[in-house]
Amino acid sequence: MRINFLGTCSGTEPMPGRHHTSITVEVGDRMFWFDAGEGCGHTAHVMGLDLAATEAVFISHTHMDHIGGLPHLIWTLRKLAGRVEGFGARLGGRQIPLYIPRPEVFDAVNTLLANGKGLSPAFTITARPCQDGWLYEQDGVRVRALHNLHLGPDEPFRSFSYRLEADGRGIVFSGDVKSVADFEPLIDPCDVLMMETGHHRVEEVCEYLRGSGHRFGQLVFVHHGRAILADPAGELAKARSVLGNKVHIAADRQSVMI
């Protein structure tokens, strides 16, 4: 399995060298997307990732720093299918599920996309609502969703955290959360825990996790807040003083094998 960090920034003003949140997980010849922040399709393509491997897309919530790149990602798939020999054939008329907490937002994306050439016959994208439990299970890969409190108690089913399992491994993506407690049921055990810092201090997250007894292999910070954006080395040192070398700060266009 390989994790690709396309964008690692939270919803700040534009930051040099950083784009908003998007991560893909490759399992064999299939690629799963988690959030689709600005430019994610472009970044994935220039990193050399195979967009024709796109199997499913999971959106944590519909804030712009998690979904701003979705129209362009779909447009890019359509463009590659029309321009790159064999790309459309490899998509093979695939139905790509888009799990999204507010499916009506996809209507707006479709309206925008219809403004161009229309959809490609090489693939279709179907919006599906998120709910707690296993959303996707196919050929040895499964993805579970759990609602969180990022948008407050009045809208608990508008924001989700995710867990992917494949090849005997588990990967957890917090999305945006009120606290680690929101998505604790997804954690144990996992190989990689991806936690956002746009709303949290790294040392508090590390201390909470140390005290909680949760079993995770590596902790990777994503969706960086201002402290990491200003001083990644200093924040990493703080985090490692609590949890040691199992903590990492993801950078844009970084890939890791697990």
Residues engaged in binding Zn ion (CB under 5 A): 11, 63, 65, 176
Q: Contact at 8 Å (CB) between 40 and 71?
A: no
What Å distances lie between residue 171 and 10, 182, 205, 221, 238, CA to CA?
A: 20, 16, 18, 13, 24
Whole-angstrom distance, CA of residue 25 vs CA of residue 80: 20
Strand partners, 219: 193, 247
Nearest C-alpha neighbor of 37 from the set 75, 66, 78: 66
Beta carbon of residue 221, minimum distance to Zn ion (angstroms, whole number): 13
Beta carbon of residue 78, minimum distance to Zn ion (angstroms, whole number): 27
Position closest to Zn ion via CB: 63
Residue with Cβ nearer Zn ion (41 or 198):
198
Residue with Cβ nearer Zn ion (20 or 248):
20
Whole-angstrom distance, CA of residue 59 vs CA of residue 36: 7
Whole-angstrom distance, CA of residue 223 vs CA of residue 175: 8
Give the β-pairing of 94-99 and 123-128.
Answer: parallel
Beta carbon of residue 8, minimum distance to Zn ion (angstroms, whole number): 11
Residue with Cβ nearer Zn ion (88 or 101):
101
What Å distances lie between residue 254 and 21, 43, 163, 185, CA to CA?
A: 13, 11, 20, 28
Beta carbon of residue 201, minimum distance to Zn ion (angstroms, whole number): 16
Beta carbon of residue 199, minimum distance to Zn ion (angstroms, whole number): 8
Residue with Cβ nearer Zn ion (18 or 63):
63
Beta carbon of residue 159, minimum distance to Zn ion (angstroms, whole number): 7
Residue with Cβ nearer Zn ion (11 or 232):
11
Residue with Cβ nearer Zn ion (140 or 152):
152
In this structure, the dihedral spanned by the alpha carbons of residues 219, 222, 225 and 227, taken in order and rounded to 10 degrees, is 50
